[in-house]
C-alpha cells in the first residue's frame, strides 16, 4: 500500500513538473521570442499619433510669401474604443444626428479598420474646436484632436497656378504604393501637385502613454522613441504677385487668359485664367462644398485656360508664317503683295484693308495684318517644289510649327497641360480624300485660322523665341528650391536652352521690325508704353458656336523692350472683338506694371478701372446658363404641379401628414412667358398657363 501511494505521489509530482515546465516555456516564448502580444499590449497602452509637417512656402520673385500655413484640427476616432462614449453630447457639439454619427463610424471602419484612428470630422471650425477641446475628456479614449497644417492665401490670387491641397483618395493611395495613409493631405493640382515631394516634408510620430482607462497621461519614455516631423522645403518662383493680381483684376467679368513670360529665363511672371476664384475657397471646412459649386459652374472657373484653353491664334500667328517663308528663301523682307481686299487666287480670305500698298513689304504686311499676304505666303510654302508635292510641303511646314513650340506640350511645371493641334496630311486626306485638296483648300492656315489650335502659353512661348532671336527656355514657375542638391533633378530640364530652328538673326530682325510698326503706326497703337519700344501683333479670331458665327475673340501678343526683352505676353479675351479693343490695352498695362513696377498717370489708372468694370460673357456660356436655369425651373414647376394634383384630387385621401388643413384657394389662370429665359434666336416662345391663387 505504501509503495502504491509513493508511486502515485511521484506521478502527481511529474505531472505538476511537466505542467510547470510547459507554462515556463510558454512564458519564455511569449517574453523572448514572440512580439504579437507585446504589440497588442503596446496598442492598448500606447497611442501612436502622427505629427503632420508644415508644407513648404512658395515665394514670388520679390520674396513675398504668396501662400502660408495655418493650423486647424481634425477630430479623430478609434472605432474599437467607442464603448461608453457620450455620443449624444458629441453629436450636439458637432451639430449632427445619431444616424450621421453611425455612418461616419462605419465609414472609418471600412476605410481604416476598427483599431486604427481615422478622421471623424476634418478641419473643425474655431467654434467647434473650442467646444470639442473643452469637453474632450468626455469622449476619450475613442476621440482625440489631431493638428493639421492647412494653406492660406494672403493675396487671394493665383489659384490656378498654386493649386490646392486635399485629402488623398484610394487612387492616390495605390499610386503611391500606400506611402500615403488615409487622412493624409497632398497637392491635388497646380504647383502643390507638381512639387508635392518637395513641399510635403516628412511625417513625424509621437508616442503617448495611456492609463488603465485608456486616457492619455503623457509621452511614452519621455519621448525617446518619438520621431520629429520635417517641414517641407520652400520654392522660389518667377511669379510677380502684383502683376498677377492686376491681371486677374483686368480679366474680371471676362473669359480668357493672360500668360506673361520672362524671355531670357522662361520664368512665368503671371498666368491668369478668367473667370478665376479665391484660392482660400478650397481650404478649410467649406472646401468640398465650394469645389462642387465651382465644378458645376457653367463658366468653368476651375479650368486653367492659360495652358488648357485652345484657340485658333488668328493674326498673332502671322510672324511665324513670315519666318518660315524667309527661312525657305521664298520671300525677302522687301517682298510685297498687291492686296485689294481679298486674296484673289483662292477667292478667300478677305482682308480688312483694301487700299494699295498696305502690304508693300514684310514689315507693312505685319503692321497692317494683311490676310492676303499671309495666305499667299502659306501657299508658297506648301507648294514649294523642293518638297515634291503639297503633302511634303505641309509636313515641312508642320515641322517648323513644332519648332516654334506648337502642336505638342511644352512641359510646363503644372499638371494637365494641353498640346494644341497642328494639322497634317492624314487629317486632310481623311476629310477631303487623298488628292482632293490643295493649298487653296487650307489657305486659312496662313492667317492662323482653320484647324490650328494653340494655347495662350504656346503663343507666349513662341513670342519668347522671336524676342530671343531663335531660342527659349521651357516655360516654368519655379526658379530654385530651398537647400537644393544634386539629387534635386526636377528643375534640370528648365535650365536647358532650346534652339529648335536655325533661322538667321536677320530674318528675326525683319519680323521684329514689323512687330514694332504694329504699335507705332499699325493695328495696336493703344499698346504703346512711354519709354519702351514694344513689339506686338494683334489677332481677331473667328469662332462659331452650334454652327453660328459668334463675336470674334480678341488676341494680342507682344514683348518689350525690343532690343533687351524682359517680358513677353499673350492675352486672350473670348468674344470681345478686335485684338486692339481689349487684349491690347490689357497687355500694355501689365507690361508697364512689370517694367516700371507701377502704372503712371491718372489716365492709365482710369483705364484699369474701365477695363475691370466691363463684363463680356460668351454666348456659349449664356446658353449653358439659360439651359441649366430652364431645366431647374421646369423641374420646380413639375414638382409644384404634382403637389397641387395630389392635394386637390377629388375622392382621393392623401396619406401624408403634410396634407393642408384648409381647402386650397380657387385658382385662376394667368398667362406667363415660360421660356422667356431661353435665347430668342434659338427657341420659340411658348405660352404656358400657370394657376394663380386669389381669395374667394
Q: Please check whether residues 206 and 145 belong to one and the same domain.
A: yes
* Pair 245, 157: CB distance under 8 Å: yes
Enter the C-alpha cell of residue 152. Answer: 492660406
C-alpha–C-alpha distance, residues 482 and 107, integer Å: 39
Q: Please check whether residues 26 and 119 belong to one and the same domain.
A: no
Enter the C-alpha cell of residue 635. Answer: 423641374
Q: Please check whether residues 638 and 660 belong to one and the same domain.
A: yes
Residue 688: burial class (beta carbons within 10 Å; 0-12, 13-18, 19+): exposed
Predicted local confidence at residue 32, as pLDDT: 67
Residues spanned by the domain of 220: 49-235
Assigned domain for 296 exists: no
Q: Please check whether residues 338 and 450 belong to one and the same domain.
A: yes
Share of the chain above pLDDT 90, in %: 53
Assigned domain for 498 exists: no
Predicted local confidence at residue 657, as pLDDT: 41
The average pLDDT across 562-590 equals 95
**Residues near 665 by beta carbon (within 8 Å), at least 6 away in sequence:** 693, 694, 695, 696
Q: Please check whether residues 193 and 335 belong to one and the same domain.
A: no
C-alpha–C-alpha distance, residues 589 and 639, integer Å: 52
CATH of the domain at 450: 3.40.710.10
Assigned domain for 40 exists: no
Predicted local confidence at residue 485, as pLDDT: 87
- Three-state helix/strand/coil letters over 196-219: HHHHCCECEEEEEEECCCCCEEEE
Predicted local confidence at residue 349, as pLDDT: 84
Q: Please check whether residues 395 and 535 belong to one and the same domain.
A: yes
Q: Tell whether the model's pLDDT for residue 493 goes beyond 70.
A: yes
Q: How many structural domains are present in the chain?
A: 4
Assigned domain for 496 exists: no
The average pLDDT across 208-212 equals 71
CA 439 to chain centre: 39
Assigned domain for 493 exists: no
pLDDT tens-digit profile of 523-567? 899 999 999 999 999 999 988 877 888 889 999 999 999 999 999
Q: Please check whether residues 533 and 651 belong to one and the same domain.
A: no
C-alpha–C-alpha distance, residues 560 and 529, integer Å: 9
Q: Please check whether residues 255 and 126 belong to one and the same domain.
A: no
Weakest-pLDDT range from 131-135, 268-272, 343-347, 400-404: 343-347
Query: Over the Cα atoms of the chain, what is R_g?
Result: 35
Assigned domain for 604 exists: yes
pLDDT tens-digit profile of 278-304? 999 998 888 889 999 999 888 999 999
Name which of 211, 181, 179, 200 is nearest 118 in CA terms: 181
CATH of the domain at 127: 3.90.1310.10
**Residues near 563 by beta carbon (within 8 Å), at least 6 away in sequence:** 533
Assigned domain for 491 exists: no
Q: Please check whether residues 187 and 63 belong to one and the same domain.
A: yes
Q: Please check whether residues 168 and 124 belong to one and the same domain.
A: yes
Assigned domain for 44 exists: no
DSSP string computed for 507-518: HHHHHHHHHHHH
C-alpha–C-alpha distance, residues 173 and 184, integer Å: 10
Q: Tell whether the model's pLDDT for residue 227 goes beyond 70.
A: yes
C-alpha–C-alpha distance, residues 578 and 597, integer Å: 28
Q: Please check whether residues 156 and 120 belong to one and the same domain.
A: yes
Q: Please check whether residues 190 and 248 belong to one and the same domain.
A: no
DSSP string computed for 438-483: -TTTTGGGGGT-TT-BB-HHHHHHHHHHHHTTS-B---BSEEEETT
DSSP string computed for 55-68: PPPEE-TTS-BSSE
Angle of the 390-403 helix axis to the 318-327 helix axis, nearest 10? 120
Amino acid at each position: 500500500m505504501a509503495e502504491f501511494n509513493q508511486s502515485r505521489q511521484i506521478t502527481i509530482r511529474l505531472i505538476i513538473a511537466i505542467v510547470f515546465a510547459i507554462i515556463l516555456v510558454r512564458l519564455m516564448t511569449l517574453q523572448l521570442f514572440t512580439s504579437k502580444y507585446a504589440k497588442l499590449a503596446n496598442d492598448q497602452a500606447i497611442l501612436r499619433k502622427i505629427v503632420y509637417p508644415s508644407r513648404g512656402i512658395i515665394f514670388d520673385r520679390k520674396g513675398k510669401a504668396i501662400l502660408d500655413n495655418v493650423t486647424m484640427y481634425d477630430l479623430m476616432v478609434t472605432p474599437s474604443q467607442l464603448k461608453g462614449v457620450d455620443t449624444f453630447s458629441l453629436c450636439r457639439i458637432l451639430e449632427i444626428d445619431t444616424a450621421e454619427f453611425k455612418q461616419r463610424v462605419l465609414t472609418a471602419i471600412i476605410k481604416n479598420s476598427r483599431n486604427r484612428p481615422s478622421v471623424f470630422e476634418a478641419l473643425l471650425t474655431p467654434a467647434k474646436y473650442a467646444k470639442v477641446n473643452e469637453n474632450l475628456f468626455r469622449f476619450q479614449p475613442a476621440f482625440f484632436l489631431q493638428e493639421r497644417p492647412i494653406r492660406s492665401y494672403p493675396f487671394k490670387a493665383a489659384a490656378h497656378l498654386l493649386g490646392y491641397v486635399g485629402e488623398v483618395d484610394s487612387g492616390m493611395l495605390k499610386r503611391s504604393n500606400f506611402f500615403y495613409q488615409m487622412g493624409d493631405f497632398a497637392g491635388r493640382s497646380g504647383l502643390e501637385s507638381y512639387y508635392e515631394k518637395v513641399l510635403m516634408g516628412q511625417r513625424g510620430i509621437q508616442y503617448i502613454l495611456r492609463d488603465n482607462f485608456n486616457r492619455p497621461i503623457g509621452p511614452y519614455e519621455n519621448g525617446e522613441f518619438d520621431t520629429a516631423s520635417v517641414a517641407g522645403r520652400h520654392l522660389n518662383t518667377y511669379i510677380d504677385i502684383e502683376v498677377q493680381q492686376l491681371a486677374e483684376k483686368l480679366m474680371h467679368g471676362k473669359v480668357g487668359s493672360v500668360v506673361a513670360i520672362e524671355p531670357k529665363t522662361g520664368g512665368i511672371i503671371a498666368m491668369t485664367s478668367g473667370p478665376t476664384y479665391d484660392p482660400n475657397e478650397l481650404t478649410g471646412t467649406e472646401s468640398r462644398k465650394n469645389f462642387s459649386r465651382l465644378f458645376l459652374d457653367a463658366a468653368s472657373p476651375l479650368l486653367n485656360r492659360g495652358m488648357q484653353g485652345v484657340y485658333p491664334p488668328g493674326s498673332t500667328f502671322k510672324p511665324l508664317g513670315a519666318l518660315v517663308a524667309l527661312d525657305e528663301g521664298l520671300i525677302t523682307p522687301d517682298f510685297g503683295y498687291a492686296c485689294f481686299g481679298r486674296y484673289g487666287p483662292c477667292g478667300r480670305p478677305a482682308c480688312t484693308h483694301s487700299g494699295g500698298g498696305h502690304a508693300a513689304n514684310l514689315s507693312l504686311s505685319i503692321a497692317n495684318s494683311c490676310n492676303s499676304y499671309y495666305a499667299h505666303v502659306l501657299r508658297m510654302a506648301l507648294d514649294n517644289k523642293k518638297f515634291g508635292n503639297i503633302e511634303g510641303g505641309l509636313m515641312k511646314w508642320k515641322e517648323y510649327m513644332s519648332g516654334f513650340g506648337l502642336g505638342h506640350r511644352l512641359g510646363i511645371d503644372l499638371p494637365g497641360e494641353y498640346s494644341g493641334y497642328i494639322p497634317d496630311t492624314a487629317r486632310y486626306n481623311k476629310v477631303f480624300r487623298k488628292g482632293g485638296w490643295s493649298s487653296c483648300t487650307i489657305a486659312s492656315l496662313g492667317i492662323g485660322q482653320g484647324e490650328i489650335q494653340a494655347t495662350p502659353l504656346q503663343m507666349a512661348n513662341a513670342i519668347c523665341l522671336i524676342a530671343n532671336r531663335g531660342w527659349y527656355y521651357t516655360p516654368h514657375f519655379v526658379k530654385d528650391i530651398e537647400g537644393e542638391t544634386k539629387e534635386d533633378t526636377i528643375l534640370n530640364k528648365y535650365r536647358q536652352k532650346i534652339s529648335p530652328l536655325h533661322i538667321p538673326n536677320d530674318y528675326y530682325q525683319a519680323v521684329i521690325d514689323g512687330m514694332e510698326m504694329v504699335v507705332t503706326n499699325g493695328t495696336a497703337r493703344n499698346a504703346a508704353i512711354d519709354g519702351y519700344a514694344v513689339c506686338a501683333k494683334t489677332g481677331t479670331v473667328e469662332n462659331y458656336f452650334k454652327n453660328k458665327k459668334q463675336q470674334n475673340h480678341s488676341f494680342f501678343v507682344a514683348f518689350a523692350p525690343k532690343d533687351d526683352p524682359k517680358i513677353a505676353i499673350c492675352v486672350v479675351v473670348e468674344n470681345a472683338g478686335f485684338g486692339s479693343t481689349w487684349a491690347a490695352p490689357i497687355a500694355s498695362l501689365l507690361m508697364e506694371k512689370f517694367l516700371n513696377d507701377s502704372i503712371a498717370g491718372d489716365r492709365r489708372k482710369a483705364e484699369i478701372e474701365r477695363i475691370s468694370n466691363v463684363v463680356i460673357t460668351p454666348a456659349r456660356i449664356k446658353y449653358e446658363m439659360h439651359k441649366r436655369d430652364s431645366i431647374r425651373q421646369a423641374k420646380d414647376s413639375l414638382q409644384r404641379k404634382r403637389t397641387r394634383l395630389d392635394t386637390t384630387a377629388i375622392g382621393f385621401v392623401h396619406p401624408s401628414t403634410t396634407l393642408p388643413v384648409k381647402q386650397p384657394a380657387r385658382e385662376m389662370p394667368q398667362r406667363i412667358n415660360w421660356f422667356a429665359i431661353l435665347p430668342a434666336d434659338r427657341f420659340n416662345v411658348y405660352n404656358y398657363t400657370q394657376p394663380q391663387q386669389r381669395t374667394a
